[in-house]
Amino acid sequence: MALVMRNFSRIFAQGAQQNLRGIHSTTTANTPAVSERPDTRTTCTLIPGDGVGPELVYSVQELFKAAAVPVDFETFFFSEVNPTLSAPLDSVANSISKNRVCLKGILATPDYSHTGELQTLNMKLRTTLDLYANVVHVRSLPGVKTRHENIDCVIIREQTEGEYSALEHEGVHGVVECLKIVTEEKSKRIAKFAFDYATKNERKKVTAVHKANIMKLGDGLFLRSCEAMAKLYPKIEFERMIVDNCTMQMVSRPQQFDVMVTPNLYGNIVDNLASGLVGGAGVVAGASYSAQCVVFEPGARHTFAEAVGKNVANPTAMMLCAAKMLHHVNLPSYGTMIRNAIDKVLRDGKIRTKDIGGQSSTQDFTYAVIHNLQHKQ
């Protein structure tokens, strides 16, 4: 990771002194005495991730420097594609538990089908911290043209059981059994999380996505748990939708969805499908919640390894994760400032990375966002 960061730092360094002089003349001089927690700094765990993750994290760090964000990062290289360099799981989990907030890049998952290792590093981290609720807010972005407009939905995924329970075995040669674990306790917990989220954020409808017509016991338990929880929230509209119909409805009329609550596998699929509707993996932010901590990470989990060192990745999703993190740690004016700057760059349409129809680099987009920071006076 250190080599990747050094290489990317050299990319940013080209012309950086001139750029930063202009930035500081328009931002540092106007840096306000921000009202929330002005005399304290917040420490957050940082996991750059694999693929282009370190480059995207570097963009966030440059953005935080320019905006004078009072956040310090406790950084860990955490990877199972480079296990000899990776920090131990316990060290990373302890840091997140201590700081209670983390900004995380995407971790690559190697194919361990021939080694007997079934749990990925992501799964181990989620289990250790009980990061049971993954929340991905998918919305149409200003200036990013897609087939559908006015999309604004939230996908809430249970991510500690279901098909990702890592309980598989080959009983006899050529026959593999894979156990899908669904419990009433965790189904009710994620259902309550979804309805509480809808209530807090003034959302009107919760859709339970399932396949209970076929998996009558497992998905039936999940669906019944959602139905029972819906009765406790009479002001929130509740609907049920079979997952295959849900995917068709998403690509035909996504505006009908508000909050969606799903088991593990379906949520993973719907997250990625929905991200594609608004511009792709580079523009959607997400977060994973436990009762004690939050890990902010891109909503569509792609490492984009083929783009490493090419300065072409879109940092929007990681920047939006950072903005959400700032709201979470009670620094909302910084988060809003960054969000507004991103929207301004996208709306202007002059600086765009290749994934959303432009030819600009990661560096170009990062500096464009920095130049559009508007501090409150």
pLDDT at 170: 87
The predicted model gives 227-241 an average pLDDT of 98
User: pLDDT per residue over 126-180, tens digit each?
Assistant: 999 999 999 999 999 999 999 999 999 999 999 999 998 888 888 899 999 999 9
The string of pLDDT tens digits covering residues 43-64 is 999 999 999 999 999 999 999 9
pLDDT score of 120 more than 80: yes
Question: Residue 357: CB partners within 8 Å, gap ≥ 6?
Answer: 145
What is residue 109's predicted lDDT score, i.e. its pLDDT?
Answer: 85
The whole-number pLDDT of residue 238 equals: 98
Band (12; pLDDT cuts 50, 70, 90) = very low
Retrieve residue 25's tokens: 């003349």
Domains 1-15+40-109+117-140+282-377 and 158-167+176-277 share a fold: no
| Angle between helix 53-67 and helix 2-13 axes, rounded to 10 deg | 50
**Is residue 20 predicted with pLDDT exceeding 60?**
no
Question: Please, which residues have CB within 8 angstroms of residue 328's CB and are 6 or more apart in sequence?
Answer: 101, 294, 296
pLDDT at 231 over 60: yes
Q: Is the pLDDT of residue 361 over 70?
A: yes
358-372: average pLDDT: 96
The single-letter DSSP state of residue 108 is: P
The mean-pLDDT minimum among 120-124, 199-203, 295-299, 321-325 falls in 120-124
Contact status, residue 233 vs residue 195, Cβ threshold 8 Å: yes
The beta strand positions in the chain, using DSSP E, are 42-47, 71-75, 101-104, 133-139, 152-158, 168-172, 175-178, 205-210, 237-242, 259-262, 285-289, 294-298
What is the domain partition of the chain in residue ranges?
Answer: 1-15+40-109+117-140+282-377, 158-167+176-277
At residue 290 the predicted structure's pLDDT band, cuts being 50, 70 and 90, is very high
Domain spanning 1-15+40-109+117-140+282-377, CATH class: alpha beta
Average of per-residue pLDDT values in the chain: 89
Quote the CA–CA distance of 372 and 13 in Å, as a whole number. Answer: 20
**Within 10 Å of residue 220's Cβ, how many Cβ atoms?**
16
CA count, 13 A, side-chain hemisphere, 142: 12
Does 158-167+176-277 carry CATH code 3.40.50.2300? yes
